């Protein structure tokens, strides 16, 4: 009986959670240029309860906008680990999926989800604001159905992620 109550409680929580998602306003690559039109009056993501925010501790979504090089990876992992549960990661653009045009670069990683758990990818170079809004709505569905469990996967497979991070970053902590 307790389990059922807890499950129901979680369902209510998650359906409330999806109504108020705050984005960590940290932009890694060129994809950041598509976010201002999404935020402002033309596309206005505020109508879904999604607003940009400046500190990782109050944010729910980390958008990795574009290529991630070694220097950036260190910073986004630190930011991601500072965020409180529940937290979601959106990989933005083809660079975070498979390296994009930086596939042969000496400093850009090619597969973001081996270093941090990604809930959702948006394909394209660049994705249009419509695609971003669509992905937010999809993320809301994922949260509602309990499928956006990246933060749980990060805890469960911490050794796997840490091993991959050490492989490219060296011993850093």
Partner 1 sequence: MEIERLNQVIRGTVEVKRKQRVDIIVDNADIVSALHSLKLFGFNQLTLVTAVDWIEEQQFEVVYVLYSNAQKVVAIVKARIPRENPEIETIEDLYPNANKYEVELTEMFGIKVRGNPDSGKPFLLENWHDLPPMRKDFDSIKYATEHYEARHRKENND
Looking at beta carbons only, is 2 or 170 nearer to partner 1? 170
Q: What is the secondary structure of 83-127 as a DSSP string?
A: SPSS-EEEEESHHHHH-GGGTT-SSB-S-GGGTS--SEEE-SSSP
Looking at beta carbons only, is 19 or 167 nearer to partner 1? 167
- Distance of closest approach, residue 104 Cβ to partner 1, in angstroms: 4
For the chain, how many helices (H) and strands (E)? Answer: 7, 5
- The answer to whether the CB of 35 falls within 8 A of the CB of 131 is no
- Distance of closest approach, residue 82 Cβ to partner 1, in angstroms: 20
Rounded Cα distance, 102 and 68, in Å = 10
Q: Provide the β-strand partners of residue 24.
A: 53, 62
Looking at beta carbons only, is 24 or 112 nearer to partner 1? 112
Q: Which residues bind partner 1 (CB under 8 A)?
A: 70-71, 74, 97-99, 103-111, 114, 164, 167-170
Looking at beta carbons only, is 38 or 94 nearer to partner 1? 94
- Distance of closest approach, residue 170 Cβ to partner 1, in angstroms: 4
Q: Interhelix angle for 158-169 vs 70-82, to 10°?
A: 150
- Distance of closest approach, residue 107 Cβ to partner 1, in angstroms: 7
């Amino acid at each position: 009986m307790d389990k059922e109550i807890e499950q129901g409680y979680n369902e209510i929580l998650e359906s409330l959670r999806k109504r108020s998602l705050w984005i960590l306003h940290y932009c890694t690559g060129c994809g950041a240029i598509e976010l201002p039109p999404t935020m402002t009056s033309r596309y206005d993501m505020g109508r879904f309860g999604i607003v940009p925010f400046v500190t990782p501790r109050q944010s729910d979504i980390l958008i990795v906008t574009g290529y991630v090089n070694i220097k950036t990876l260190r910073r986004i992992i630190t930011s991601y680990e500072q965020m409180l549960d529940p937290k979601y990661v959106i990989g933005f653009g083809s660079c975070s999926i498979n390296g994009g045009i930086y596939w042969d670069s000496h400093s850009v990683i090619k597969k973001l989800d081996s270093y941090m758990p990604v809930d959702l990818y948006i394909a394209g170079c660049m994705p249009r604001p419509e695609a971003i809004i669509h992905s937010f709505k999809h993320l809301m569905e994922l949260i509602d159905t309990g499928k956006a469990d990246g933060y749980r996967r990060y805890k469960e497979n911490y050794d796997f992620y840490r091993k991959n991070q050490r492989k490219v970053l060296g011993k850093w902590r």
